[in-house]
Structure formats: C-alpha cells, structure tokens
Amino acid sequence: MDFSRVELSEEDQAFLEESRAFLREIVTDDVIRRDRETGDNFDEGVHLALGKAGYLAREWKPESEGGFNRVRRRIWELEKRRAHVPWVTFGTTAMIARSVDKFGSPELKAEVMPRVYTGEVRLCLGYTEPEGGSDVATCKTRAVRDGDGWVINGSKMFTTGAHNCQYVFLITNTDPDAPKHKSLTMFLVPLDSPGIEIQGIRTVDGDRTNIVYYSDVRVDDKYRLGEVNDGWTVVREPLNVEHGAVEAAADGLQDVSIMMHQANTMAAAVDKAAAKVTEPDPNGRRLIDDGSVAYRLGRGVARMEASFSATSIFGRVALAQAMRDISPDLMDLLGTAASLPLGTDGAADDGAAEYVYRFAPLVGIYGGTLEVFRNMIAQYVLGLGKPAYAPPAKKAS
Ligand SMILES: Cc1cc2nc3c(=O)[nH]c(=O)nc-3n(C[C@H](O)[C@H](O)[C@H](O)COP(=O)(O)OP(=O)(O)OC[C@H]3O[C@@H](n4cnc5c(N)ncnc54)[C@H](O)[C@@H]3O)c2cc1C
C-alpha cells in the first residue's frame, strides 16, 4: 500500500475545484434537510444534475472508456462525501449495472445503460426475504416459465431505494427441487410492472427502506440475466463487492475497506466530543480534566483509529463494531443532553453521538451481519472449518 502524498497536477487541481463548486451548487441545505426527513439517501434533482453534467458516466466507466483516472476518481469520491451527496441509490445502481453489462442481452443493455448514465434509470437490490437474508441462496420467491416470459410470486424485505428506482435486481427460485445454488435465476424486473407493491419501512436511524410484494408479476425473458438456474454465477460478484471481500488497490487511492463512508459519522462525533470536553465551564473546569473522561475518550479514539486502519472484510467488521462500542461512551461523557437529536436546542453535540448510536446497528447488518462476517473470517481466513449448527449426535447408551 502506497501511503505517500499525492501531488495534484494542474488539471487534477482544476478538476477538484470544478467538482467541489458543482457539488456545492447542487447539494443545497434544502437537499440535506429533505434527505434527512425522507431517509431516502437519494435526491432525484441532484442525481439528474450529476447525470446531465456527465459525472455518473465518468464515475461508472473505466478510464479507457472515458471514465475518471485513478486520482480523479479518488478526488470525486472524497468530494461527494464532503458535500454529503445522498449516495445510496447510485451505489446500488452502479453495482447492478455491472451485472447488466456483463450478463444482459443486447436489447436489455440498450434499454438500461444509457439511462443509467443520464440518471433516469436507477437500480435496487432484491435479495433479502422476510424469512431470512443472510443466506440469500435460500430464496423462496418463485419465477415460473410462462410462454415467452415468466411469472413471479413472492416478497422481498429491505429493498432499499425501490420507490426511487426503475428496476430491481431480483433473485428468484426457478427450481425448488434443485440444490440451492443451482435453483436460482436472476432478473432485472421493471418496478412499474403490474402486481408489484412497494411498502415503506423506517429504520431506527431514520433511513427508509421497503418491503416489496410480487403477485403474478409477468416479465419478458429479455429481463433475465444469465442462464436459467445459474443465477449464482450472476449474483456472486456483486455479493462479493457488497461484502467488502475485495482487496483495495495498492496505490492508496481507495478506501482500505467498505463502510468508511458510514464510519465518517463516528469520526465527526469523536471530533465534536473532543471539542466539547475541552471547553471550560463558567467555573473554568473542563470535562477532560477528569481522568475517567480522558481515559474513555482516549480509548474511543484508539479503537476508532484501529478500525480505520483495518482492511477488507476485517475493516468492515472493525468499523461497525467500533461505532457500536464508541457511541454510547461518547454519550456518557457528554451527559444527558447528548441524547437530544440533531437540530434540537440544547443538544450537547448537535446529536452527533446519538445518531451514530442509532446508525451503528444497521452498519453491522446491511450487506451481511457482523456475526456472519466473523464466521467468514473464522472459516476462510483462519481456516477454522465450517461452523456446525446441528445438535451434537446422541451417544448410544
Ligand atoms: C437498513 C437496511 C438496508 C438494507 N438494504 C437491503 C437491500 O437494499 N436489499 C436487500 O436485498 N437487502 C437489504 N438489507 C438486508 C440485509 O442484507 C439483511 O438484513 C442481512 O443480510 C441479514 O439478513 P436478515 O435480516 O434476514 O437476518 P437473518 O439472516 O434472519 O439473521 C438473523 C440473525 O441470525 C444471525 N445469523 C444468520 N446466519 C448466521 C450464520 N451463518 N452465522 C452466524 N449468525 C448468523 C444473524 O447475524 C442475525 O443476528 C438491508 C438491511 C437493512 C437493515
């Protein structure tokens, strides 16, 4: 990993200034306020403006096809974070568009890809089901052949962004009698198809996600991705990306693990707490002068720094766990006024630690739970073998 400082060329410096100014113009206070209210993590006006200015295409395409070079890609990622661009829906769109590009028919690609670049088409993930999501291959949503098309029945839990998207990347079961990894077929289902009902769900941190019901939904075969009963081949790659089981590039121009974006809320809360505990009260006393405050803050900072340095799948676990561990400590240090949320008069730190406290559980669930990742580390990295969940065999008496 290269940790040296990057000297920006004049062109890259100009790109930084131009993109920073553009983002400042389109991500207004109104956008941020609305996003907080809806919990959507998506803003159509911002998304279409990014598409129109060519940023979505340049973000998605490789450099050889007109996309950003490595340095600009990094600048762009960091500037989007600084500007608090609502980002979740382009994240899912970009990931799924890779599968459409790889496995879609020419007709489907022509329908979808140009409008991904303009921002008119957004794509969401339809993996998890109400009865369980950790093992996506146990899918019960059925797709049955019907003439030239398919009929889909079932339901999907936590289809984030479905109400702002045009298609869902849907895992279906097309052969219930086959072994689970040979029973799946992937589709890109148009979300305006008759028989689809989207119901909103709010999570504890205020995000919006959805449960989506599919009742006799008819889909043309052109919306199938990959071969029938070979959906595992299609879905494996995006699953690996979402799991963070992909090594960061060694040039240092990439986050060392996924969830860094989310974990920045923890860094901001720690900064606010550090500022607050060093403020003198009217008697000149500072919270930090109490050794236990200094100890707990120091411990939190050390845990946070360690988690930011952990890579790949380890980083993913460390970041979410650090968020869970540190946020209640920060609230304790700052006192009861730390339980007041953002924008409330009298809140100790404008709700920063309180927000991380509500957000942290989700960061350790979506895209796979911490328990599942710890098992993956045990099994694949440490070689401890597959966990045995079956009850121990009874001894013959
Ligand atoms: C905010 C949010 C957004 C999401 N967005 C999407 C989305 O856009 N699309 C989508 O398809 N899904 C989405 N999800 C679903 C998410 O991926 C699942 O919640 C996650 O994979 C866990 O599945 P589950 O909730 O069904 O829990 P289950 O699989 O039912 O697990 C229940 C409990 O059992 C534990 N467990 C399960 N299996 C194992 C194992 N092998 N070893 C150890 N422990 C285990 C889990 O850790 C958990 O504590 C989202 C979830 C949230 C909270």
- The tens digit of pLDDT for each residue in 194-214 reads 999 999 999 999 999 999 999
Atom of ligand 1 nearest to the CA of 136: 21
Expressed in angstroms and rounded, the spacing between residue 12 Cα and the centre of ligand 1 is 40
Query: Which residues sit opposite 196 in a β-bridge?
Result: 214
User: Which pLDDT score is estimated for 389?
Assistant: 76
Best of 125, 128, 324 for a ligand 1 pocket test (most atoms within 8 Å of beta carbon): 128
Task: Report d(CA 74, CA 258) in Å as an integer.
Answer: 14
Best of 89, 123, 158, 209 for a ligand 1 pocket test (most atoms within 8 Å of beta carbon): 158
User: Which pLDDT score is estimated for 396?
Assistant: 72
Contacts of 253 (CB under 8 A, 6+ apart): 6, 70, 71, 73, 74
Residue type, 310: A
- The tens digit of pLDDT for each residue in 246-264 reads 778 888 899 999 999 999 9
Task: Report d(CA 157, CA 144) in Å as an integer.
Answer: 21
Expressed in angstroms and rounded, the spacing between residue 135 Cα and the centre of ligand 1 is 8
Expressed in angstroms and rounded, the spacing between residue 158 Cα and the centre of ligand 1 is 9
Atom of ligand 1 nearest to the CA of 156: 11
Expressed in angstroms and rounded, the spacing between residue 326 Cα and the centre of ligand 1 is 23
Atom of ligand 1 nearest to the CA of 207: 1
Expressed in angstroms and rounded, the spacing between residue 373 Cα and the centre of ligand 1 is 11
Expressed in angstroms and rounded, the spacing between residue 13 Cα and the centre of ligand 1 is 42
User: Which pLDDT score is estimated for 246?
Assistant: 73
Measured by CA distance, the residue closest to atom 6 of ligand 1 is 158
- Lining ligand 1 with CB less than 6 A are 124-128, 132-134, 158-160, 203, 207, 209, 362, 365-369, 371-372, 375
Expressed in angstroms and rounded, the spacing between residue 240 Cα and the centre of ligand 1 is 15
Atom of ligand 1 nearest to the CA of 368: 21
Expressed in angstroms and rounded, the spacing between residue 164 Cα and the centre of ligand 1 is 22
CA dist list (Å): 122 to 12, 89, 91, 292, 344? 29, 7, 10, 49, 34
| Residue located via tokens 């009850």 | 391
Residue 333 burial by Cβ neighbours in a 10 Å radius (0-12, 13-18, 19+): buried
State the virtual CA torsion across 58, 61, 65, 71 in degrees, nearest 10.
Answer: 60
Give me the average pLDDT of each 10-residue run along the chain (397 residues): 82 97 98 95 98 98 97 96 95 97 97 98 98 93 97 98 98 96 97 98 97 98 98 94 80 90 96 96 95 97 97 95 98 96 93 97 95 93 85 77
Q: Give Dmax (Cα) for the chain.
A: 81
User: Which pLDDT score is estimated for 393?
Assistant: 80
Residue type, 94: A
User: Which pLDDT score is estimated for 1?
Assistant: 64
Expressed in angstroms and rounded, the spacing between residue 226 Cα and the centre of ligand 1 is 25
Name which of 148, 243, 153, 137 is nearest 196 in CA terms: 153
Best of 369, 370, 375, 386 for a ligand 1 pocket test (most atoms within 8 Å of beta carbon): 369
Expressed in angstroms and rounded, the spacing between residue 316 Cα and the centre of ligand 1 is 15
Best of 259, 365, 370 for a ligand 1 pocket test (most atoms within 8 Å of beta carbon): 365
Residue type, 328: P
Expressed in angstroms and rounded, the spacing between residue 263 Cα and the centre of ligand 1 is 19
Expressed in angstroms and rounded, the spacing between residue 201 Cα and the centre of ligand 1 is 15
Measured by CA distance, the residue closest to atom 23 of ligand 1 is 133
User: Which pLDDT score is estimated for 46?
Assistant: 98
**What would you report as the CA-atom Rg of the chain, rounded to the nearest whole angstrom?**
23
Q: Running DSSP on this structure, what letter comes out for residue 377?
A: I
Measured by CA distance, the residue closest to atom 20 of ligand 1 is 368
Atom of ligand 1 nearest to the CA of 132: 26
CA dist list (Å): 71 to 7, 68, 74, 250, 278? 10, 8, 5, 13, 37
